[in-house]
Chains A and B, each alone.
Chain A
Amino acid sequence: MNKLFFLLLTLLVSITLTITTEADEKKSAESNPPKGSHDITIFFSNDVRGEIEPCG
């Protein structure tokens, strides 16, 4: 009985660990660029031409 309980517990822990690791890896891949790459965001504009805000 104890052996069966231990086996079930081990299985449950290993499944939980696997799921967590996969989720972390996915999140990490989404947020961190691959090795050697760098993420930059360029916010750009041009020709504002004195339009501080629309007139009317």
Chain B
Amino acid sequence: MGGLPKKAQQLENLRKKKNGVLALDSGALLFKEEKIQPDQIQQLTATAQGIVSAYNRMSFAAVGVARQDLAAGLPFLLSLQHKSDFPWLSANLVNRTHGKPYFKPHTLLSMAGVNIGVIGLTGQGPESLLPEKDNAVILPWEDVLPKEISQLKGRVDLLILLSNLPSSTNKKIAETHPEIHLILQGGSTSGNLVPERINNTLITQVEQQGKSIGILEVRWNKQTKKWEDAGAENLLLEKKNELDRLGWQIGRYLKTGDPKLVFKDKPDVLAAYESMARQHERLNQEIARLTVEQNTRNANRTQFSSYSHHFETMRKELPDNPAVRAIVDATTTEVNRIGKAAVKARISDSSGKNQEGISENYAGSNACTSCHAPQFAKWRGTQHATAYDTLEAKGQQFNVQCLPCHVTGPAAQTGQEMLALAHDLRQVGCESCHGPCRAHILQPTDAKAERPTMATCQRCHSGDHDDRFNFFEALSRLRCRSD
């Protein structure tokens, strides 16, 4: 699932159908982690540049700056900003000395007759992300957001916040700043988040790593700037359902005759009936009141703004956008070229040693066959045995972002080690689950191979890559025991 070419095609299709389409990204666009290993930086920054080219092609209107976007350093993102056709937004990533933001704090857009303001906020965290020489600091949102809102007051009809702050903080912002009409958040939650309304603010986000895109169809009334209250409608429905249930229960009592006579010797039962009857009366009154309110709202409906949402999963079968496909292919080729060059440099380094098989504690799956032939045969029939081949098929076999989950023993290896692995370790082999086995091969009884646990599998089959992974199902399918 996922991929920028599919996302681009969905956006293009939407633009063909609709007039005012605004593309926004909350951030954490470029890198997965907040820190990058030095030997991966060249490949990952090449990928980042490819992503920016793709976003330029998709005409994104704004992107928020998240902490992950700073992983290759603040200077890198500042330089990438010049290659971006869209603004990177952060109101709280500022220069420590004079307090000026490094990126635009907000941007103003006009679409379908509506003036839209978009503010960006970067998540706070350990200051170690920003080295001393950058002289940068991420300020608390409270220090900058009120100022941004007051600057935009009267200038915009719809105010959107791209937030990389935790979900709980975004809720607090919604509670204290109803001037913000929509918060597109990132990072906090796995999976798609159905728009949640707090006061006059909607909060939503999509799942990680481009697996889905979100579409929000907004009918905005710029005079009132207020979302329609769907909550009251739901409350009325809930009360009517409750009344139905209660009416049915009361009906059962009445079937046997007048409860006051039938249950005159059973005070507990009579008390329960009378309590239900009182509750029934209360509900009737409440429903009458809610119905009057509902009718008034319906009469004034056009004064309110409404929305509908839709999440589209980027399934394999969705079409690619040719222009963005070309950008992605060129980026993949460049990333692979960098990886290949690193392998060459490593092999011909001054020590002159053959670096293949550098992971000294690993023996490779072929070494297991002499004692575990049936298990080896079973493994050969699994997708683990062709994990590296799938990378080769897509020209990704030199991509250090992909390699860890497609070779053996990723946890113990750095990016460059992975690039120069012995051939026998170039799949998800026996030792991916059972740990390094060189010692076990030399002393089979004394040095036991490890048994895989859920944590072993979750190194790769995590929510990021495989949110449907079921350890027990996988174990029953893949376990090596011959019985």
Q: Which A residues are closer than 8 A to B by beta carbons? A: 33-56
Q: Are B206 and A46 in contact (CB under 8 A)?
A: yes
Chosen A-B contacts, 6 in total, with CB atoms closer than 8 Å, are A39-B18, A39-B20, A39-B220, A43-B23, A44-B205, A52-B3
B244 to chain A, nearest CB (A): 33
Q: Do residues B405 and A55 form an inter-chain contact, with CB atoms below 8 A?
A: yes
Q: Does B346 contact A (CB under 8 A)?
A: no
**Inter-subunit contact A48/B29 (CB<8 Å):** yes
| Docked-complex contact B26 and A42, CB < 8 angstroms | no
With A and B bound together, what is the CA distance between A48 and B186 in angstroms? 10
Q: Are A51 and B2 in contact (CB under 8 A)?
A: yes
- B22 within 8 Å of A (CB atoms): yes
Q: By the criterion CB–CB under 8 Å, are A45 and B7 in contact?
A: yes
- A53: chain B residues at CB < 8 Å are 2-5, 328, 332
Which one of B169-177, B269-277, B389-397 contacts A?
B389-397
Query: Majority SS of interface residues in chain B?
Result: mixed
Interchain pairs with CB closer than 8 A, number: 176
Contact A41 B216 (CB under 8 A): yes
CA distance A41 to B204 in the complex (A): 14
Interface centre among A39, A42, A47, A52 (most CB of B within 10 A): A47
- Known A55-B396, A56-B396; contact A43-B305, beta-carbon cutoff 8 A: no
Contact B402 A44 (CB under 8 A): no
Stretch at the interface among B83-91, B106-114, B349-357: B106-114
Looking at the assembled complex, report how far the CB atom of B406 sits from the nearest CB atom of chain A, in whole angstroms.
6
Alpha-carbon distance between A40 and B115 when the two chains are bound, in angstroms: 11
Asked if residues B51 and A50 are in contact (CB atoms below 8 Å), the reply is yes
With A39-B20, A39-B112, A53-B3 as given contacts, are A48 and B209 in contact (CB-CB < 8 Å)?
yes
Q: Are B215 and A42 in contact (CB under 8 A)?
A: yes
Does B435 touch A at the CB level, under 8 Å? no
Contacts of A52 in B (CB 8 A): 3-4, 47, 50-51, 54, 328, 331-332
B92 within 8 A of partner (CB): no
Q: Across the two chains, which residue of chain B brings its CB closest to A33?
A: B219
Q: CA separation between A43 and B182, bound complex, in Å? A: 13
Contact code string B35-51 (vs A, CB < 8 Å = 1, else 0)? 00000000010011011
CA distance A51 to B26 in the complex (A): 15
Contacts of A35 in B (CB 8 A): 302
Residues of B close to A34: CB separation below 8 A: 302
A56 & B394 in contact (Cβ 8 Å cutoff): yes
- Which residue of A39, A51, A55 is within 8 Å of B218 (Cβ)? A39
Let me know if B21 and A54 touch, CB within 8 A: no
CB contact under 8 A between A50 and B31, given known A38-B222, A41-B217: yes
Q: Please name the residue on chain A nearest to B64 by beta carbon.
A: A46
Flag whether B370 is at the interface (Cβ < 8 A).
no
Q: Which residues of B contact A56 (CB under 8 A)?
A: 387, 390-391, 393-394, 396, 402, 406
Contacts of B186 in A (CB 8 A): 46-47
In the complex, the answer to whether A37 meets B47 with C-beta atoms within 8 Å is no
**What chain A residues lie within 8 Å of B31 (beta carbons)?**
49-50
Interface residues in B197-256 (C-beta closer than 8 Å to A): 204-210, 213-223
CB distance from A51 to the nearest CB of B (A): 4
| Contact of B3 with A55 in the complex, beta carbons under 8 Å | no
In the complex, the answer to whether B220 meets A37 with C-beta atoms within 8 Å is: yes
A7 to chain B, nearest CB (A): 41
